[in-house]
């Protein structure tokens, strides 16, 4: 009888999964371990200056560039618009959150009676999968809520295009332009995966920039929406990385205050554990 057909085995797997997920939340919420070297490397004044400069840049871009670039995008050749229309939905967070979430649950449900080395390898993988899920999911959730509170009209909602049209708290999809959720997801993916696998960054940059460009080309967002989304996604993923680092989960804070990545299990070791689980 297989585990899938044995109700007791299935219940045991569900209990293990629930217990491991509960433990993961407890570990993620635990106090900072050891010296934090400053829980945030920037002063309040520096953050305030950055926010102020960003607001000025946004207002300048809204007045000078937004409408002009959207009008220019309307004159692009049809094949270009068609291409970006085909790839733009790959900026949806579900493409990443569903596989990562299911993988996390699958690892959490594995039997506890494993040798020490496979347990350590699976724990390291689980931490990294959890990091990727939170680093992508947190900025995406933040944008989903905030954009509907801001209520900026999308480019083609009002004719002629009016980048200054806002209706806060209207909670409608056509008034959810700022910031761009697809772009936030794409840049969160860039930062999250890029911190774990630096060699993948060139491909990730192509992906993130392509998604960002697609949102303007198909007139779903203004350029300032896209720029804001990129900042929110990247900064959000970096904040999640630092949260993990302060708890020494996949990352750590070095004496110079910079976040470093712990070495993860090698591909050879992962293959060995996978073969053991499947045998």
Whether the predicted pLDDT of 268 surpasses 80: yes
State the chain's mean pLDDT as an integer.
90
**CB-based contact 187:136 (threshold 8 Å):** no
Domain boundaries, position 94:
41-278
Give the separation between CA 15 and CA 21, rounded to whole angstroms.
Answer: 10
Whether the predicted pLDDT of 178 surpasses 80: yes
Whether the predicted pLDDT of 206 surpasses 60: yes
**Is 263 domain-assigned?**
yes
Please list, in sequence order, all residues whose beta carbon lies within 8 angstroms of the beta carbon of residue 114, skipping any fewer than 6 positions away.
122
Q: What is the pTM of this model?
A: 0.91
Alpha helices in the chain (DSSP H): 7-28, 44-61, 67-73, 78-87, 94-108, 116-150, 181-196, 201-217, 223-246, 267-278
**Is 196 domain-assigned?**
yes
* Structural domain total, the chain: 1
Whether the predicted pLDDT of 135 surpasses 70: yes
**CB-based contact 41:257 (threshold 8 Å):** yes
**Is 16 domain-assigned?**
no
CA proximity to 180, closest of 133, 129, 216 = 216
> Across residues 142-168, what is the average pLDDT?
94
pLDDT value at residue 37: 52
User: What's 114-169 look like in SS3?
Assistant: CCHHHHHHHHHHHHHHHHHHHHHHHHHHHHHHHHHHHCECCCCCCCCCCCCCECCC
Position with higher pLDDT, 226 vs 273: 226
φ and ψ at residue 253, rounded to 5 degrees: -95, 115
Check residue 252 and report its DSSP letter: E
Q: Which helix (H) or strand (E) holds 251?
A: strand 251-253
Q: Which helix (H) or strand (E) holds 261?
A: strand 259-261
pLDDT value at residue 1: 44
Position with higher pLDDT, 35 vs 261: 261
Whether the predicted pLDDT of 33 surpasses 70: no
Q: How far is CA 264 from CA 107, 124, 172, 216, in A?
A: 16, 7, 43, 38
Whether the predicted pLDDT of 10 surpasses 70: yes
**Is 52 domain-assigned?**
yes
**Is 19 domain-assigned?**
no
Residue whose tokens read 């070297």: 37
Give the separation between CA 249 and CA 41, rounded to whole angstroms.
Answer: 19
Residues across the chain: 279
> Across residues 129-135, what is the average pLDDT?
97
pLDDT value at residue 36: 52
Q: Tell me: the pLDDT tens digits for 38-95?
A: 556 666 777 888 889 989 999 999 999 999 999 999 999 999 999 999 999 999 999 9
Whether the predicted pLDDT of 14 surpasses 80: yes
**Is 21 domain-assigned?**
no
**Is 30 domain-assigned?**
no
pLDDT value at residue 219: 95
> Across residues 218-223, what is the average pLDDT?
96
Q: How far is CA 216 from CA 161, 211, 228, 248, 260, in A?
A: 13, 9, 13, 39, 35
pLDDT band of residue 202 (cuts 50, 70, 90) is: very high
**Is 97 domain-assigned?**
yes
pLDDT band of residue 261 (cuts 50, 70, 90) is: very high
């Amino acid at each position: 009888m297989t585990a899938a057909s044995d109700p007791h085995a299935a219940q045991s797997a569900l209990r293990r999964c629930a217990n491991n997920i509960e433990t993961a939340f407890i570990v993620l919420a635990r106090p900072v371990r050891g010296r934090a070297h400053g829980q945030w490397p920037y002063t309040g004044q520096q953050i305030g200056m950055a926010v102020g400069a960003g607001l000025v840049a946004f207002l300048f871009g809204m007045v000078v560039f937004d409408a002009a670039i959207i009008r220019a995008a309307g004159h692009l050749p049809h094949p270009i618009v068609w291409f970006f229309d085909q790839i733009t939905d790959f900026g949806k967070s579900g493409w990443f959150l569903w596989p990562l979430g299911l993988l996390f649950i699958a690892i959490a449900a594995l039997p506890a009676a494993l040798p020490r080395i496979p347990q350590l390898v699976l724990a390291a993988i689980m931490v990294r999968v959890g990091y990727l899920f939170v680093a992508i999911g947190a900025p995406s959730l933040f944008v989903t809520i905030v954009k509907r509170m801001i209520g900026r009209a999308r480019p083609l909602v009002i004719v002629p295009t009016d980048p200054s049209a806002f209706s806060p708290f209207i909670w409608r999809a056509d008034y959810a332009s700022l910031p761009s959720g697809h772009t936030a997801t794409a840049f969160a993916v860039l930062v999250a995966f890029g911190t774990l696998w630096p060699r993948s960054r060139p491909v990730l940059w192509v992906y993130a920039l392509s998604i960002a460009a697609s949102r303007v080309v198909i007139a779903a967002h203004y350029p300032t929406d896209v720029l804001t989304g990129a900042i929110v996604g990247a900064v959000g993923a970096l904040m999640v990385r630092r949260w993990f680092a302060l708890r020494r989960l996949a990352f750590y804070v070095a004496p110079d205050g910079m976040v470093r990545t712990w070495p993860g299990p090698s591909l050879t070791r992962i293959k060995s554990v996978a073969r053991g689980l499947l045998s």
